[in-house]
Chains A and B, each alone.
Chain A
């Protein structure tokens, strides 16, 4: 005869470090041996690394060249300019974080960067007289932005415009306005360098995004002229390495625009190459997303009377871009590191500065050289930024997953 079975609680799994160890590391004699051997090797290497980092390494040269790592030959009396741009960046990032609120993705990213700025501010106050006031100002700008966003969430509406303005004004401020020797004098882009240049080139990902979306949509166009132009552009650009496009841009761009090679800033030429290169890859990522949106979505939108353009930007694109966020962030991380290739056209980005520092006369006087120290240092900085992007992307994916399908 039928009887209702009352629900019973699930069995409680046995927990604790001992259980975990036995299950994961010592589940069989062979695994135990493997664990011990691997553990010994890792411990041995880590010990050696720690000994080098803490005892044997001479960090003096890294410390002494912080300005080169930061901005390279950018004039010392004009450091307020890049730092104002940084302050603007933190202000806007802070405002976004404030609007999002504690725990939001932008807030998490903002506080990570704010921590980075805080460390630099402390160091600047203690050791770097020329930027003693400026770094704390960047920190303050960040907090001000955050408070602004918290107090007045409607600021979110103007943020896209503020970002665009920051982008344009920032580049103008970095480059300068007037010839001569004033506060706003032009700094030739050959003097930009270090982490500043790496970040400037990395912002090439921003214009490459709308370009990539346009190329991806163009590739699906019914008009043959647009379609084949887009396919041709994408395939040609992807068909050669970035390093070659950097070369070509620095020689070809002046020719295409029919101007003297030296009248176009070197950074601008590299920037154009990086942006277009990134756009081609972006287009292919976005195309993957477009193909992932079911046909029925567009049909339903058209059946409701939405125009082709409305259907694309209200229905298809939002879903397509959501599907390819991981790929786009992956591309951003890749591009962040690929900016190091600009050394080939004579620019001194963060990576190239490491090389320059390691062959300075003072560096060569250090027994054993300082190559390892210098490259360990830049590795840590690259890692911080790349890893932070990857964390943000994971959080974004998780957040967008809510309530979707």
Chain B
């Protein structure tokens, strides 16, 4: 954890020695007059798992949605795998191809089967052959534990199964970074575990992940760093042990006391 000496801005820099894959430098964003992201400095190394926590409305989701340009930032620089996100559509598409995202509401395509959901982008974007795409899709469906659901429609699956399909859909594209936007918040309590298990496996295999979540057990188990956000700012950052045992900021302590 480092802090810029000359300012009060908290920098969530990646540990030195690693290879930086995401860099956010002084990012600011407004929704109308509302200043939703304020001077964000965050970088992530290859293979790191960064967990972002914070109260609702603190800007966590907006932060990771900026990383694949689902939201546009107005100030600062965002560089993903060496490509800076600007208005250049080709750069945006390149970043999106290398970045998987899992949403709170799954966002599977209801008119396509599970297999079609997964193979659509590999076939259309990566220009794979259908057979190759389906083979890879089945590999990842097996990895998330539901190969037998391949021919069903999303509407016939439980929430936990749908979210695992969504993860397989992202993984099949072979992303370098996975972004998780509250992946378990819309799930029934008894199926949260099956989704978290998949994420833990993924983290242990060395996938670079940024996870917005309220699952503190997950943060503790696989998080390399935890970032606490409030009111559009990064308030505190550190390894999970430090974070949960000895938080420095009063705001962090107040938040943690509410959810733990």
Interface residues of A (CB under 8 A from B): 294, 296-297, 299-307, 310, 314-315, 318-319, 322, 403-405
Q: Would you call B111 and A318 a contact (CB within 8 A)?
A: yes
Q: Would you call A299 and B153 a contact (CB within 8 A)?
A: no
| B70 is an interface residue with CB less than 8 A from chain A | yes
Partner of A304 from the list B105, B110, B156, B173 (CB cut-off 8 Å) is: B173
B98 CB, nearest partner CB in chain A, Å: 8
| B248 is an interface residue with CB less than 8 A from chain A | no
Q: Would you call A303 and B109 a contact (CB within 8 A)?
A: no
Residues of chain A lying within 8 A (CB to CB) of residue B111: 318-319, 322, 404
CA–CA, A354 and B173, complex, Å? 64
Q: Would you call A300 and B109 a contact (CB within 8 A)?
A: yes
Q: Would you call A304 and B93 a contact (CB within 8 A)?
A: no
Q: Would you call A405 and B109 a contact (CB within 8 A)?
A: no
CA–CA, A405 and B157, complex, Å? 10
Residues of chain B lying within 8 A (CB to CB) of residue A304: 96, 120-121, 125, 169-170, 173
Residues from 120 to 165 in B contacting A, C-beta threshold 8 Å? 120-121, 124-125, 152-156
| B218 is an interface residue with CB less than 8 A from chain A | no
On whether A302 and B152 interact (CB within 8 A), knowing A314-B120, A314-B124, A319-B110, the answer reads no
Instruction: Look across to chain B and name the residue whose beta carbon is closest to the beta carbon of A300.
Output: B107
Q: Would you call A306 and B155 a contact (CB within 8 A)?
A: no
Q: Would you call B110 and A404 a contact (CB within 8 A)?
A: yes
Given contact pairs A306-B125, A315-B109, A318-B111, a sample of 6 additional A-B residue pairs in the complex whose CB atoms are under 8 Å apart: A294-B107, A296-B103, A299-B70, A299-B103, A304-B125, A304-B170
Partner of A404 from the list B99, B125, B155 (CB cut-off 8 Å) is: B155
Interface of A is mostly: helix
Q: Would you call B96 and A305 a contact (CB within 8 A)?
A: yes
Q: Would you call B93 and A404 a contact (CB within 8 A)?
A: no
Partner of A303 from the list B99, B105, B108 (CB cut-off 8 Å) is: B99
Residues from 177 to 234 in B contacting A, C-beta threshold 8 Å? none
Partner of A305 from the list B93, B103, B108, B156 (CB cut-off 8 Å) is: B93
On whether A404 and B124 interact (CB within 8 A), knowing A296-B107, A302-B70, the answer reads no
Residues of chain A lying within 8 A (CB to CB) of residue B105: 294, 296
